[in-house]
Amino acid sequence: MSETAAPPVQVTGLTKRYGDTLAVDGVDLTVHPGEVYGFLGPNGAGKTTTLRILTGLIAPTSGSVRVLGGSPGQPQVIARTGSMIESPAFYPYLSGLDNLRVLAEYAEVSRSRIQEVLRLVDLADRARDRFSTYSLGMKQRLGVAAALLKDPELVILDEPTNGLDPAGMRDMRRLIRELGADGRTVLLSSHLLGEVQQICDRVGIINDGRMVAEHNVEELRGQQELVIRAAPLESARSVLNGVLGPDAVHLYDDTLRAKVAPDRAAEVNRLLVEAGIAVSELRNTERELEDVFFELTTSEEEKAHAG
Amino acid sequence: MLGSYRAELLKLRKRSAVWVLFGAGLVLSLIFGYLLPYLGYVTGDENPQTDGIPRSEVLRGLLPERVMDNTIGGFPVFAGALALVLGAIVIGGEYTWGTLKTILTQRPGRGAVLAGQLLGLLTMVAVWVLGIFVASALCSIGIAATESAPMNWPGPLDLLEGLAGGWLVLTMWCLAGAVLAVAFRNVALPIGLGVVWILGIETLLAGVVSSLLPDLEFLSDALPGANAGALVFSVTGMLATDAPPGVRDAVGGERALLTLLGYALAFVALALYTTRRRDIT
C-alpha cells in the first residue's frame, strides 16, 4: 500500500441537486489516513448520494471532492478504492465465485485473490452456488468480498451489516476492525449506531443533506452523567442545582441527570440523604451515540411529539 | 480494456439467455432455409417457401452453392430482431440488476467498460453467424449427398463477403438494442420498441412511402432495415424472386454497407456519450 499524505477523502462544500431537491447541501467531510470513519444519518439524509459521489457514480453539482489525491471516478483512484454502495448488486445467473471472477477481470487482479477474499468473508463453502440462491446476509458478504478484491487502500461500505444475523454482524465488525488495524482507511455508513460506536474512530452525522456533526466518537458522546432517581424529584433537583450549578442538572424520563465525575457519586448521595430525600437509584452512565444521533437529527417538533 | 472484454465474454458465455436466442435464430434459419423447402421438394407440395418455383430450382436453393443465401437470408428481419434482443438484455440487464455500479467501481473507466461490453457482443454475434453458417453448410451437404446433387461451394471471397455482411447486419441491430437499453436503462422497453420497429413499423413505412408518397422514397431507403436487406441482397446475389422477407435491392450494396456502418458508429457514439455523462443511480 502506498502512503497518501493528504486525507484519503477530503470533501468541501459538496452539493448535489436533483431538480428542485437538494440531496446534499454543502457537506464538508474529511477522512484521515488509517481511520475507521462512520457516516451516519437517517434514511434519505444524503449518505448514499455522498458515497456515490465519492465513488464517481454520480457527479456533484458543486463543491470540491478529492479521493486518494485524485478525482472520484478516475481509473487510478478507483483502482485503489474498494466499495459497496447500497445493496450488493451481482449477476444472478452466475455463482458467487464467477461473479468475483468477472470483477477480478475488470479490476485486473489475480484469481488467487478471489479465494482469499472468499475466506475473509466466510463464503468459500457456498462460492459455487448461484448468487440468486444466496440469503441477504450472504449477498452482503459477497459485496464486501468484492470491495476487498483489489486489496484497496480506501474501503467505502454502505450499510455493510444489512441483513446479517448477530454472528454475521460480529464477524463483520471484526473484519472492519482488522481492515482499520491493517492501516486501511475505512468509510462506512450505517444506521446501527451501536455498531458504529464500537468500530469507528470518528463519525460524521448528516441530516437533511447537511453535515450536523463530525467528531471523535468519545467527543461526540460527551462527558459522563449521573442518573438519579429520587423522591421528591423537584427537591432533589433544587439541592443539586445549589451544589453543582443550575446547568449541571436536568430532568430526563422521571430521573435527574447530573453532569459530574463518577467519583462524586457518593458525595451526591450524601447531600441528598442529608436533605431528607429518598434516593432509589444512583448510577453512572455515558451518553450512547444513539442519544447524540437523535439529538442532532430530530427536530424540536418531533422531539415534542415523541415526548 | 482487455480486462473488460474478458469479463464480458465470461458473462456472455455463462448466460443461458444468450444461447437460447442463438438457438432460436438457428432453428428459424434451418426451418425456413432448409426444412420447409426440402419438404416441399420431396413431397412436391407447394408451401410459402416453394410456391411457384420449379422443383429443380427448389433443390438448387438447398445445395452448397446457395449456402450463403440460407445462412444470412433471415438476418435483416428475424435474426436481426433476435440480435436486437441480445443487445438489449446484455446492456439493459446491467441497469436492472444494478451491476453497472458494481463494475464501474472496479478499475476501468466508463468508456473502457462500455467498449468491453460492445466488443463482447460483437464477438458473440460473430459466433452466432459462424454457428448458423456451419449448421446451414451441414444441411446443404446432407441434402446434396441424399439427392446425389453437385457439391459446388461459393468461392472463399464470396463466403467471406457473405459472412462479413451478415455479421454487420446483426451487429447493427445488436447495437441498436444496446443503445436503446442505455437510453431507457431497462430491458423490456428497448425490446418492445426495437422488435416492433423491425417487424412492423419499418415495413409499414416502406409500404406507405412506395404506394402513397413515392417522393419520400429516399427517406425509407435510408432506414436501417432497408439497408440491411439491401446488403444481404447484394452479398448473396440472390434473385429478387428467391428473396426472403426484408431482403430486396432498395439501394446498392456499397451504399447499404456505408449506411449500416454509419448506423453502427452512431449507435456506439450515442451509447458512449450517454454512459460517460450520466449519473449511475
**Rounded distance, CA A165 to CA B15, Å?**
32
Highest mean pLDDT among A277-281, B59-63, B159-163: B159-163
Extract the C-alpha cell encoding B134.
Answer: 456451419
Q: Among B7, B102, B112, whose Cβ lies nearest the Cβ of A90?
A: B102
The rounded mean pLDDT for chain A is 87
Q: pLDDT of A133-156, one tens digit each?
A: 999 889 999 999 999 999 999 999
Say what percent of chain A tops pLDDT 70: 91
pLDDT number for residue A2: 44
Say whether B98 and A87 touch across the interface (CB within 8 A): yes
Average pLDDT over residues B32-40: 90
pLDDT > 90 in chain B, percent: 71
> Above 50 in pLDDT, residue A39?
yes
- pLDDT of A284-302, one tens digit each? 776 667 777 776 776 655 6
Average pLDDT over residues B98-111: 92
A262-277 core/surface letters (b: 16 or more CB in 10 A; e: else): eeebeebbebbeeeeb
What would the pLDDT profile of A86-103 be if each residue is shown by its tens digit?
Answer: 889 999 999 999 999 999
Integer Cα distance of B254 and B199 in angstroms: 24
CB contact under 8 A, B281 and A73: no
Kindly tell me if the per-residue pLDDT of A5 is higher than 70: no
| B41-50 per-position pLDDT tens digit | 888 766 666 6
Whether pTM exceeds 0.95: no
Residues of chain A with C-beta less than 8 angstroms from the C-beta of B281: 52, 57-58
B87 — pLDDT class (breaks 50, 70, 90): very high
pLDDT of residue B263: 97
CATH domain A9-220 topology: Rossmann fold (3.40.50)
Q: What's the mean pLDDT in A49-67? A: 95
- Residues from chain B contacting residue A88 (CB–CB below 8 Å): 102
Nearest CA in chain B to A77: B107
Q: What's the confidence (pLDDT) of residue B140? A: 96
Alpha-carbon gap: A70 to the closest alpha carbon of chain B (Å): 14
Looking at residue B101, what is its pLDDT? 94
pLDDT above 70: residue A3 = no
What pLDDT does A56 receive? Answer: 93
Give the residue numbers spanning the domain of B76.
2-277
Class for the domain spanning A223-285: alpha beta
Report the distance separating Cα B113 and Cα A263, nearest Å: 62
Domain assignments of chain A as residue spans, ordered by start? 9-220, 223-285
Res. B7 pLDDT band, cuts 50 70 90: very high
Residue range A183-202, pLDDT digits in tens:
899 999 987 777 788 888 89
pLDDT category, A167, cuts 50, 70, 90?
Answer: confident
Say yes or no: B4 contacts chain A, CB-CB below 8 A: yes
Query: pLDDT digit string (tens) for A255-269?
Result: 888 888 777 888 889
Whether residue B104 lies within 8 A of chain A, CB to CB, comes out as yes
When pLDDT is averaged across residues B251-270 and rounded to a whole number, the result is 95
Residues B233-245 have pLDDT tens digits of 999 988 777 788 8
Residues A202-218 pLDDT 10s = 999 998 899 988 888 77
Q: What's the pLDDT score for residue A17?
A: 94
Q: Cell numbers for A183, please give them.
A: 492501516
Best of B9, B16, B89, B106 to substitute, by most chain A Cβ atoms within 10 angstroms, is B106
Nearest to A250 by CA among A287, A275, A204: A287
Instruction: Report the alpha-carbon angle B173-B177-B180, nearest 5.
Output: 135
Show residues of chain A in contact with B89, CB under 8 Å: none
Assess contact for B66 and B13: CB atoms under 8 A: no
The residue in chain B having the minimum alpha-carbon distance to the alpha carbon of residue A59 is B279
DSSP secondary structure of B269-280: HHHHHHHHHS--
Q: How do beta strands A9-18 and A81-84 pair? A: unpaired
Window 14-43 of B: residues touching A by CB (8 A cutoff) are 14-16
The separation between the first and the last C-alpha atoms of chain B, rounded to the nearest angstrom, is 24
Number of domains in chain B: 1
What are B70-79's pLDDT values in tens digits? 999 999 999 9
Tens-digit pLDDT profile for residues A223-243: 667 889 998 988 998 888 888
Note the ipTM here.
Answer: 0.89
Task: Using alpha carbons, list the distances in angstroms from residue A16 to A25, A58, A62, A136, A205.
Answer: 7, 9, 7, 30, 17
Q: Which amino acid is at B174?
A: C
Distance CA A55, CA A77 (A): 9
Q: Do A57 and B108 touch (CB under 8 A)?
A: no
Buried b (16+ CB within 10 A) or exposed e, B22-51: beebbeebbebbbeebbebbeeeeeeebbe
Q: Point out the residue among B3, B99, B101 whose CB comes nearest to the CB of A91.
A: B99
